[in-house]
Amino acid sequence: MRSRYLYERAVKIYPKGVNSPVRYYVPYPVFMKRGKGGEIEDVEGNKYKDFVLAYGPLILGHSYPSVVEKVRERVQEGSLLGAPTEEEVEFGEIFRKAAGVDMMRLVNSGTEATMHAIRLALHYSRRKKVLKMKGGYHGTHPYNFPSDLVQEVEFNDADAARDKLSSREFGALILEPVMGNTGVIPPEEGYLEEIEDASRKYGTPLIVDEVITGFREGFHPYYAKRGIKPDLATFGKIVGGGFPLAIYCGKEELMRNVRPQGDLPQAGTYSGNPVSVVAGLETLNILSRMDYGKLARITEIAVKELSSSGLSVNYATGMLSLFFTEKKVRNHGDVAATRKELYFRLFRSALEHHIYIPPSFDETMFLSFVHSEDEVRESFSFLAEEGRKLWRGI
């Protein structure tokens, strides 16, 4: 097989032959060649219904025609100029209005966005410690991992967060409004509001990480649905339209501290590069006219079918997870208690039936505007039946 041949070459060059850990699985990953609409095609020419969607960015599906055309036009005029462009002003204006923020800075990845948002919060607060959620993922920088300066509490436990913050040692509190990298875990009623109240009471800047959730359930951030007003927020994935673009943004009181307006260092050669910006701008323009009701409907179909397995299913619009347990999953500790080893067997079975889902239990299945109700119903019915068989040991 060509995938095996390519893997044998790749493993000599890259750690385990991949450039992001989630892409590796035993015995070797299937190498992909192209994507179109809601399908992805491997190097052998096999096509799969794609519910990975590059781990979240492709809410319009692969190779959306007008996005491709805008990128083509931009590349012909120069792919990197090292100077401000008109497009980044247009992008900033539409984003700022939709996100309800004062100021913003463009970067290239969610990791950059969250890292600099945390740096900014610590700089502003003059404190050194960071509080995050167990299982919360904010990239691969030191602020994402427990240490003397980074502490964790369980998601959906506002009392635990409040107890930590009461020490007034924490200069940043960061969380995903819906957890997406330990499987999907939505917030319980009132949780986000309590977190916001605690951050205000103890003077800890609140950072809402919307890299996954931003613009997924509507043309707005998830925090807007709950009436939350974070000090800072981060965005990625969808806002780049399939290209490397991310954002940290928030209240002017904090953002004005970033150079050259303030004294917090942060820069990037590719930040605001015009190719990513035009892809993101076109994507936002399209989404501003989209009927998000369609995405909600196919999410309901996927959840209904997957729930017929009798296993636990968590979801938010456009994203969902199946957990191998019959118990409710409300935090990272609950995820750890599931039969995670069965999920990879589900992935292998799905792959053999040309359904592409994440190979890892802690990743999220995504839906797009181009997926039809029939293909979602058929695909998730299959996943439910296979999940049921695995759970029962059939």
Token representation of residue 381? 């019915």
Distance between CA 279 and CA 384 in Å, rounded? 35
pLDDT at 148: 97
* Calpha distance 220→93 (Å, rounded): 14
Q: How far apart are CA 136 and CA 332, in angstroms?
A: 8
Q: pTM (2 decimals)?
A: 0.97
Q: Is the C-alpha dihedral spanning 335, 339, 344, 346 positive or negative? A: negative
pLDDT for 324 equals 98
User: Which one-letter amino acid corresponds to residue 135?
Assistant: G
Which residues contact residue 239 at a Cβ distance below 8 angstroms, ignoring those fewer than 6 apart?
95, 214, 215, 245, 246, 247, 280, 283, 284
Q: Which residue has the tokens 């997924």?
A: 216
Q: What is the CATH number of domain 65-287?
A: 3.40.640.10
Report yes or no: 188 and 156 within 8 Å, Cβ to Cβ: yes
The SS3 assignment for 51 reads coil
pLDDT score at 394: 72
pLDDT of amino acid 96: 98
Q: What is the pLDDT along the chain (394 residues), one digit of tens a residue?
A: 899 999 999 999 999 999 999 999 999 999 999 999 999 999 999 999 999 999 999 999 999 999 999 999 999 999 999 999 999 999 999 999 999 999 999 999 999 999 999 999 999 999 999 999 999 999 999 999 999 999 999 999 999 999 999 999 999 999 999 999 999 999 999 999 999 999 999 999 999 999 999 999 999 999 998 999 999 999 999 999 999 999 999 999 999 999 999 999 999 999 999 999 999 999 999 999 999 999 999 999 999 999 999 999 999 999 999 999 999 999 999 999 999 999 999 999 999 999 999 999 999 999 999 999 999 999 999 999 999 999 999 7
Q: Domain residue spans in the chain? A: 65-287, 291-309+363-381
71 in Cβ contact with 275 (< 8 Å) = yes
Q: Percent helix, strand and coil across the chain, each rounded to 5?
A: 40, 15, 40
Q: Are 50 and 35 in contact (CB under 8 A)?
A: yes
